[in-house]
Structure 1
Amino acid sequence: MNNLRKRKFTMPNTLSIIFLLIVVMAVLTWIVPSGSFERQEIDERMVVVAGTYEKVASNPQGITEVFTAPISGFIDAAEVVGFVLIVGGAFGIVNKTGAIEAMIAHTVNRMKKFQFLIIPISMILFGLGGTTFGMSEETLPFYMIFIPLMTSMGYDSLTAVATVFIGAAAGFAASTTNPFSVGIAQALSHISPGSGIEYRIIMFIIYMAICIGFVMMYANKVKKDPSKSLVRNISLDELAIDSEDTNIKEFTKRGAMVITIFVLGMATMIYGVLEQGWYINEIAMIFTAIGIISGIAAGLKQDEIVDSFIGGSKDLMSAGLCIAFARGIVIIAENGYIIDTILNSAANILNGLPKAIFINLTFLIEGLIAFLIPSASGLASLTVPVLSPLGDLVDVSRQMIVTAYQFGIGVTNFITPTSGVLMGALALANIPWSKWLRFTMPLLVVLILTTMTFLTIGLYIGF
């Protein structure tokens, strides 16, 4: 018996968790009483009518329905899944050009003579990447640049990791147009992806200001007194980081053209959403155009453009599967006539609470679930289709539900040990996760309080 190795616990894959929830939901259709609300069309979407719940005949779901739920989910969520794959393909082409990474590296290199500007400008650039397209894995090459750069300037490796990671994470949390988090959530809520951008821009600015201030305070403290560094006893000698070996391309005129195309495309999308009422089809059109035109401007061959598009779509295949499978959970609940019973029970509990408590509870719950399901698309597809109609019942807008979701997963992403990007960055800098947690906790407290303030204000301004 002593020779038996203890099995190490590993977190189940998001898709496994979602399929298990399909099974659980099917079991619940045999237990939970069936019921139904009346629905009416408001602003081209079906909305639950409060006070119309009534019991109906049960329709329990069996093993056949469990195994047909995924394909039913694909059919029902085809528009959203297709949107994700097309946008992923478009960004695959943009990433192939290397223009965004080259632009950031070029800017940082030009700022070396102005050391006091490197941290805020770099964090703003990474934040813009996070808020517009969910920059995450794309940050990994930059740790190879920033760790030796920051240490040579009198800072420490923790400052380097914080500049890159917190910059991108803050932008991701305060997403304005990120199609892979807020865009998916809005589509699942049947509101236009990109809508509500005015308030989201304000949130982004304040979030970035808080994060930049936090990192700069720590960096200046370490520079004045190296003994204040949280990683002063951690050696970088064994890391063998070569700042020249990053695979980041040189920023050229072609790269500048790609950045221009990207900016113009995003501006066009925002105009279309706000002024022309664009929805998924038109937004997918813009991203497709950004990808193809960027590839041509960068001088990519047609097979490189196609291969990059396929590769980008392939990277988001798991996201598409999660959306489809999660939709299968809702279909099981709808066909078993228990989704409205669940909504009615939740609404009865929450109706006596102030709306501010409801929306902030939603934010905290989303954050906790994000530890279990760190995928932005997976969490959105699992929670938003249920929380949006619940918001209708308690008179909280779907835009607010999406905002609570995006900040819930965004704040969790600052520290979650299931994040490959975070753990990879910490490994590069030889920083234990416990040190990172100690470093970020004061920032997280401020961000959580700031988020709850945003959510509460949003209720009263009709966001």
Structure 2
Amino acid sequence: MSQVNVDKNSVTQRTAPKSEQSPYLLLFIILVLAALATWIVPAGKFDHETRNGITFAVKGSLHAVARSGVYPGEIFMAIVKGVIKAAPIIFLILFTGGLLAVIEATGSITTALNSLSRSTRISDTRIILIFALIFAILGTTGVVQNSVVAFVPIGLLVARSLGLPPVIGTALVYLTCAAGFNVSVLGPATTGLTQHLAQLPLFSGMLLRGITCLLFVLTVAAYLIISVRRMRRDGQLRPEQPVHADKMPTMTGRHKLILVACALTLMIFMAGTVQLHWATNEMSAMFIILAILVGIIGRMSGSAIANTFLTGCSQLVKGGFIVGMAGAISVVLQQGNILDPIVGFLSDLLAPVHPAIAAVGMFISAALMHFGISSGSGESALLIPIFSPLGDNLGLTRQVTVQTVLLGEGIVNSISPTSGVLMAALATANISFGKWIKFVAPVVAIWFVICVVTLLIGVAINWGPF
């Protein structure tokens, strides 16, 4: 790793919040409450039918069954069952961390961004578009998630070199990455996980989701371009000499080859999902292959590749196992036979509502819940077991139901005070939360409109495959 990377990380460590509420604690409390509910809520079950290998609840078939309350010891067994059931997606998340660690160790991404920050011949608009393209891709593919904080200092460096305030530098990195991540087209820990829980083909529905992602990114890029032009008119001129970090590494052919290898692998996997129906296991395998290839190109030893990969995996253990923890809640609700009655109650409540309005309501519910559950994967694992049959009963496709959760989580990521990643990014840039909210409010408002329109279109076209 370059000295620049070390400095960035040290800044992040110094300025990040000292503590935040663990999502594990919140999920465990919900798990205990779910177990208690199995002794209170009348038990019931829907009849189910299988269509094309997918299980659906039969509308109107809810009937009472014998109570089967969950005992305290079974709560902990549910955690084990939840982890085992979610093993494929958990390992995909872990291997994602391993791959990213190997790529980061080569310095390819950081060096490319540093090269951009040193350029004096690129216009403001072009720099904004380049950052938007790079970080939107990194975000929508899940390559950069929580680690986006480590790149904020580069955005700040670019902003200083352009004579612009820190809020622009932070937005160049964090907001453009969020635009991609919030409508994740190929993110295994977001879209991949949520579709897996809803029994949808991995990364299906890519066209509408891709268009939505593009609109998110264009919104951010246009807003930043307009903001910078306004600042220029107000007298914030570009300095003749940019501010540089000392001893920045230069982009080499090896770095470029690594980035090309990553891009080609991504395209191969996209083709595999469409043509060969590749899914979670194939993606995990490709991540291992790519990590080895990147390490070899980066002249890392075999031991270094293995150790770096495992270190990267360890950094995402928390995010991976939270999927299993959240899945335990579903296990308890199903074991106690109270999940179907909850879905039935919500279905009866929303039955008079048009499916389009129901979809928007589910989206807003997921967004509000994300303020309390900052983990997107945790929220997906918590909501999808309830939202999927609920959507079935309300006449929504599983794809629309999945998107209500994904967009609900996504739109809150850039404004939630409970997001450790956002607060760490703001602390790194020394920007107050109030100032940030004032700056991003127009973007989030436009995003909200885009989300609603996307869901309405999804309902209208019966967005599938089912």
TM-score past 0.5 threshold:
yes
* Structure 2: segments with no counterpart, 5+ residues: 1-17, 237-242
Alignment of 1:400-419 (within 5 A): 400-419=400-419
Moved more, 108-117 or 343-352: 108-117
TM-score normalised by the chain length of structure 2: 0.89
Superposed displacement of residue 45, structure 1 = 2.4
| Equivalence for 2:245 | 244
Distance between the aligned counterparts of 2:318 and 2:249, measured in 1? 28
Q: Alpha carbon RMSD of aligned pairs, Å?
A: 2.3
Distance between the aligned counterparts of 1:270 and 1:88, measured in 2? 20
| Equivalence for 2:378 | 378
2:224 aligned with 1:223, yes or no?
no
Q: Deviations over 1:50-71 (max 9, x none)?
A: 1221111110111111222211
1:213 maps to amino acid: A
Change (3 A) 1:156 1:311: same
Change (3 A) 1:113 1:26: closer
Distance between the aligned counterparts of 1:111 and 1:175, measured in 2? 33
Distance between the aligned counterparts of 2:316 and 2:158, measured in 1? 33
Moved more, 167-176 or 190-199: 190-199
Distance between the aligned counterparts of 2:272 and 2:387, measured in 1? 27
Distance between the aligned counterparts of 1:363 and 1:111, measured in 2? 44
Alignment of 1:440-451 (within 5 A): 440-451=440-451
| Equivalence for 1:235 | none
Superposed displacement of residue 86, structure 1 = 2.5
- Alignment partner for residue 40 of structure 1, among 38, 43, 49? 49
TM-score normalised by the chain length of structure 1: 0.90
| Equivalence for 1:307 | 307
| Equivalence for 2:5 | none
| Equivalence for 1:62 | 71
Distance between the aligned counterparts of 1:146 and 1:10, measured in 2? 25
Superposed displacement of residue 168, structure 1 = 0.5
Structure 2 contact 70–332 (Cα < 8 Å) conserved? yes
Distance between the aligned counterparts of 2:40 and 2:334, measured in 1? 14
Moved more, 103-112 or 192-201: 103-112
| Equivalence for 1:130 | 139
Distance between the aligned counterparts of 2:200 and 2:143, measured in 1? 20
| Equivalence for 2:91 | 82
| Equivalence for 2:326 | 326
- Alignment partner for residue 98 of structure 1, among 104, 107, 132? 107
Distance between the aligned counterparts of 1:377 and 1:413, measured in 2? 13
SS in 2 for 1:299: coil
| Equivalence for 2:15 | none
Superposed displacement of residue 258, structure 1 = 1.5
* Structure 1: segments with no counterpart, 5+ residues: 1-8, 228-241
Structure 1 contact 156–222 (Cα < 8 Å) conserved? no
SS in 2 for 1:40: strand
| Equivalence for 1:4 | none
Alignment of 1:4-403 (within 5 A): 12-110=21-119, 112-226=121-235, 243-244=244-245, 250-403=250-403
SS in 1 for 2:41: coil
Distance between the aligned counterparts of 1:417 and 1:148, measured in 2? 25
Aligned residue-pair number: 442
Superposed displacement of residue 358, structure 1 = 1.2
SS in 1 for 2:50: strand
1:216 maps to amino acid: I
2:106 maps to amino acid: T
| Equivalence for 2:10 | none
Moved more, 432-441 or 153-162: 153-162
Distance between the aligned counterparts of 2:191 and 2:268, measured in 1? 18
Superposed displacement of residue 76, structure 1 = 2.1
Structure 1 contact 39–47 (Cα < 8 Å) conserved? yes
Structure 2 contact 117–157 (Cα < 8 Å) conserved? no
Superposed displacement of residue 134, structure 1 = 4.8
Structure 1 contact 108–122 (Cα < 8 Å) conserved? no
Alignment of 1:430-441 (within 5 A): 430-441=430-441
Q: Deviations over 1:239-291 (max 9, x none)?
A: xxx85269x75422222121112111111111111122222222222222222
1:394 maps to amino acid: L
SS in 2 for 1:200: helix
Structure 2 contact 38–70 (Cα < 8 Å) conserved? yes
Distance between the aligned counterparts of 1:141 and 1:281, measured in 2? 29
Identical positions, percent = 28
SS in 1 for 2:141: helix
Distance between the aligned counterparts of 1:162 and 1:112, measured in 2? 21
Change (3 A) 1:281 1:43: farther
